[in-house]
Each structure stands twice: as C-alpha cells, then as structure tokens.
Chain A
Amino acid sequence: MSTASDRSDVGAGPGSDFWVNAYRQMLRIRLFEEQVNELYTRALMPGLAHLYSGEEAIAVGICEALTNEDYITSTHRGHGHCLAKGASPDKMFAELLGKEAGYCRGKGGSMHIADFDTGNLGANAIVGGSIGIATGAAFSAKHLKNGRVAVCFFGEGALGQGLLYEELNIAQLWKLPVIYVCENNCYNEYTHYSETTAGDICARAAAFGVLTEMVDGQDVRAVNAAANKLVERARAGAGPAFLLCNTYRYTGHHVGDINREYYRSKAEEQTWKTTRDPIQMHGAWMIEAGIADAAAIEAIEAEVRAEMKTAVDFAVAAPYPGPEEVEMHVYA
C-alpha cells in the first residue's frame, strides 16, 4: 500500500514510484488470474472461478487511495480487490484450493475470500449482498470517529437489487463515509446490461442526493484521481459517493463460460483487449512520461511471474484442513 510520502516527488500529483507500483499491482492481478485459469483448467481448483481480468485499473486505482485500515467489500469476482487491498497471493491461492493455509482456512474459497488484516470484509456470492455490510462499516467508522472509510465494490448486475437503494438512502441521510463503486463490465452474467437496466445508472444514485461521478474504468490514473477526491471528501465527513467505472470483462462469467458468441462477439472482446487494456495503456503512458522504460516494465513482469509461480507452488503443496476443522468457527 502506498503512502502519501511516495507521491511527493512530482509536484502535487502522485510520483513516479506510485505509478510504477500501480502498474505492478495491476499486473499482479492479471497474472494471478492467469494462474487461476491454469489451476482450474488443470482441475486443481475446485468450484467456480470468476476472473477479474480487464478490470484491474478499478481495484488498483481505488485501493491505492485507501489506507490499510480502510474497509472494502467485494464480490464473487473478487480476487482483484483482495490483492489490490494488500493480500498476499500465496494465502489467496491456498484459499482458492481449499487449503488450511488460506486466508479463511479453506472454508470460504474464491467467492468468500476475506482478509482481516487489510480490512477486506469479504467477497460475497450474493449479488449486491455486501452493500449493507460496507454501509455498516462506514456507520462504525463514523460512530467510533476513527476516520476510516468503506468502499463497496459491486458489478452493474447489483443495480437490479433493491438493497442498493435502501443503503444509498441511509448512507446519504446519515452522511456515512462510504464509496459505492459500480464496476460496469457490460455483462450481468450472460446478458448485456442494457437488457436489464432501465434509465441512466448515475441518475439512480443522484436521485438520493449522493455525489455521483463516472470514470473510464480502464484508466488507472483517472480512477485513482476520482477515488482520492471521493475518499478525502468522505473522510472529511461530507458523506457517501457513487462512482461508476466503465470497464469490460475479458473472459466469461466464470472460467467454464467458454462459448460466448451467443451473447457477445469475439470482435468486441478483441477490440477491448487491443485498444482499451488498462495495463498496456498505463505501461505506454509510463514510457511516454519517462517514468519507466520497456526494460523496467519487462523486469516487473518477470518479478511478478516469479512471485505468482512461488505462490501457486506454495498453495498446491499446502495441506487440506483436517476433519476436526469442519465444525470449527460456526460460532465465535
């Protein structure tokens, strides 16, 4: 997690180290998900895997505006949020494989990964299910006056859930320090969002008087700039915000969703991947701005690949929980 001091070397904005780190964080998510796909394809990973590839700039842009003590809630597509908030990939892979060394001792899995130490209140397999939890974390922060903020990540599919509107109403009434981050990756599972979403998305939040902004979710600098503003505002007691981030899901709803032509074309996917990729775009900007050269970017990739391989090896070799674990942690 970056701190304010990392950003002091270029005037008012974040410094070069900050943007190199943001690049590395996005790449870690991309290569983490590559490994998940590999583990799943090799039948080493049980259950379901929903990849975050293509959406990395949102998790990283937002989480780099937070402190370790701030809270996030996440979704079934939550590996990116978890990594961006500071979790380590070895314990994440272990969780995905159902191993005792995982963040949740293997009992949560991909869709419920949570990390107490980095304020990750958990991924959630009910669409929109964590919107109340994030709002409650913000309620605590305000009540306990500890200066924390909560970020609620959810996909545009959650726009169909009534809970969102109940929480927007309460958060605005009580001026809670919570940022609702809607990741519009265009698809509610296998259905384009335009078929499920009436009216204007931002107008929904704005109707409650909640400060609402829209940002290019492929541009990590734009996301981070918006997040900084909204987080500082929330921390100062000015209340909640709604940030719509437009993005694209590179792969299927889950890893097994291979044949997608019935709901979207390969050409559409290619266009996003070749012209709107958040990692490529940010890398090109860093080179142009003189922050990093091609060799430095290659070096980062080599380091991250090595990190992910070590993490996967750790998780594959790690033991499963023993049968004595099955009834543990039902009650505190």
Chain B
Amino acid sequence: MPDAIKRELTFAQAVREALAEEMRRDTRVCILGEDVAEAGTPFKVLSGLVEEFGTERVLDTPISEAGFTGLAVGAAMTGLRPVVDIMFGDFLTLTMDQMVNQAAKIHYMSGGKWKVPMVLRTTLGATRRSAAQHSQSLHAWLCHVPGLKVVIPSTPYDAKGLLKTAIRDENPVIFFEDKMMHHKLKGPVPAEEYTIPLGVADIKRVGTDITLVGTSSMVQVALGAADLLAEIGISAEVVDPRTLWPLDEKTLIESAKKTSRAIVIDEGYHRYGVTAELASVIAEGAFYSLDGPVLRMGAMHIPIPFSPPLEDLTVATPRTVFEAARKLCGKR
C-alpha cells in the first residue's frame, strides 16, 4: 500500500466503493441477493447502490439462496457478471450444489468453452452473539473445490482492491467478509483507481522471531498478539495470504524460513481446515529452517454457542496467540 494515504474508509465503505466503481465501468455487473436494494443488506454494506444503478442492476431476490445463486451461474455463462450476496456465510450450505457441482466445474467439463465469471460475496466470523447458524466461517469448504477462487481480505484497502479484481476475473470467486469488520474496522483507501492481484500475500508487519499467518478477522488478532510479543522482546512477522486460492505459498514459506517458527490463525474450524493446509505448506516448504512444529489456531470444533462468555472461548484472541507464540519461542 502506498504510504501516507489520507482518506480512511470502513471495510463496508471500501466494499461498496469497489462495487460502485465496477458497476460504473462495466454495465454487465449486477447484484443479486436478499434485501440488497433499498435495504442495502442488513449489514448496510450496499446502501446507496440501488439509488445509483436502479433495480435492474441491484435486484432483491426471494429468500432462495440456491435459486438466485444458480441463476447467477447461468447469467455469468451468458454474458453478465453477477455479484451474488449471501447474507450469512452459514447459508452457503444452501448454495453448495450450484457452487460446487455447477459453477466450479462448468469451465473444465466443457473443455474450456463456457466460463462462469461471477462473484459470491458472503460473511464469516463469530463473536456477534448470533449463535450456531449465523456465526460459522466455512471458507475451507470452498477452498476444497477446484475451479473456485477464494478471497479473504483483512483490511478496507485489500477488500476494495481484491473485490475489483474478483469482479473482473473470468472464474467464480468467493469473497469472504468478516461481518465484525464491516463498520468497526477503518483504514486508509486511496481515492485513485487500484486493484490487487489474486494470489499475492501481504506482510502486515515485519518481524524476525516468529511468523504469525493470519486470515481475515485473525489478521487484527495476530497484529494484537505481535504488539504483546514486542513487549517481551519477541519480534513477530504477520503475514496475510489475502487469497486462499490461488495461494501465495512462496511468501508464507520465505517468512517461516526467515523466522524459523510459525503459527497459522484462522477463524474456520481447527480440524481439517485452512490452518491445516497453510501449516502443511509451511512445514513442507520450510522444514529444514524450522525450530519447532508449525502450530494451528482455528475455531474450537463445536457449534458456536450463543452465550457470550462461551462464544468468546471459541476463536483465537491476541492473548491466546501471544501465549502460544511465547511458548513456541521458548520464553516463559
């Protein structure tokens, strides 16, 4: 990111600006989802778009996630570039046949003839007191499917640049937004046009003693842990892959080689999840430079509970990452 950007936007404003710019640039881009028009979504991320682009391009759909996602697949194949809004990531389960068996496979199954240039925006993240069916982070499911790309930004700057690239991509792209960041996280975003390529990680903080790989909401957690670690003399490097597929393996491996220790932190489930994949990439690529096992910190393997003190136990915090990193670095 260029230095000294004065303008600050929230994560939601950055997403909205990316959509508005791409919709002005390309009349084929349209938005489909529940309460995306006048309501601007329950998260108010899309407020103002229907006023500028009209109800022909910002369409309120019935509560039929499979229906409008499948419609978007067909629309993408035949000349449009739909952006689908799936309000809560938990509702991805309702779109799975359309994304996994249709969108992901059509280009390959047709021998490269048909293309599916669509984006599915959805949310992840717990700690919003929304209980087990509105709090999951299911991005690992989509990463498991060849033919899909998975984008998981952690800052307003990255969100805008990556979403613009995702909309221009010729493939189905799933774009995960941490719903806690929408209005709480602010950051510098230049007014000038820019895009960020998929598959390029970003080092959010440079360090020398341990690598903390964080995704989405967990980047801020890793940065918080790095502050705590600095207080006891441990220099942590925070690496954000920004996209899970394509994956910038090189940057992860190089960082771990440099620091010799790594922890991967992600809000998806710990078991069989994103942390396992990233940890194994690092273990395979940096094995001879490592001074300890690559640790994984994902969500507890339980349905997310409603009760606030219980929910807060389910995902990593700056404190839990700090403790794990301190142990891995051999400090008491």
Contacts and interface: CB of A to CB of B under 8 A. Distances in A.
Interface of A: 71, 73, 102-108, 112, 114-116, 121-122, 124, 126, 129-141, 143-144, 150, 162-163, 166-167, 169-170, 173-174, 328-332
A296 to B, nearest CB: 37
Interface stretch (B3-11, B14-22, B77-85, B135-143): B77-85
Nearest to B71: A136
B112 A328 contact: yes
B75 A140 contact: yes
B110 A332 contact: no
B107 A122 contact: no
A122 B114 CA distance: 9
B64 A137 contact: no
Contact of B67 (A144, A169, A331): A169
Highest count of chain B CB atoms <10 Å: which of A133, A138, A167: A133
B210 to A, nearest CB: 34
Contacts of A124: 102
A163 to B, nearest CB: 5
B70 A135 contact: yes
Contacts of B113: 103-104, 114-116
A102 B111 CA distance: 9
B170 A132 contact: no
B269 interface: no
B74 A135 contact: yes
B111 A108 contact: yes
Nearest to A325: B111
Nearest to B66: A163
B164 interface: no
Given A134-B74, A170-B67, A140 B80 contact: yes
Contacts of B79: 140, 144
Interface in B35-84: 56, 59, 61-62, 64, 66-80, 82
Given A108-B109, A126-B97, A166 B78 contact: no
B73 A133 contact: yes
17 contacts: A71-B78, A103-B111, A107-B111, A108-B110, A132-B73, A132-B102, A140-B75, A143-B30, A163-B66, A163-B67, A163-B97, A166-B68, A169-B62, A331-B149, A332-B115, A332-B117, A332-B170
A209 B110 CA distance: 35
A162 B117 CA distance: 25
Nearest to B110: A114
Contacts of A132: 66-67, 69-71, 73-74, 98, 102
A163 B107 contact: no
Nearest to B101: A126
A121 B64 contact: no
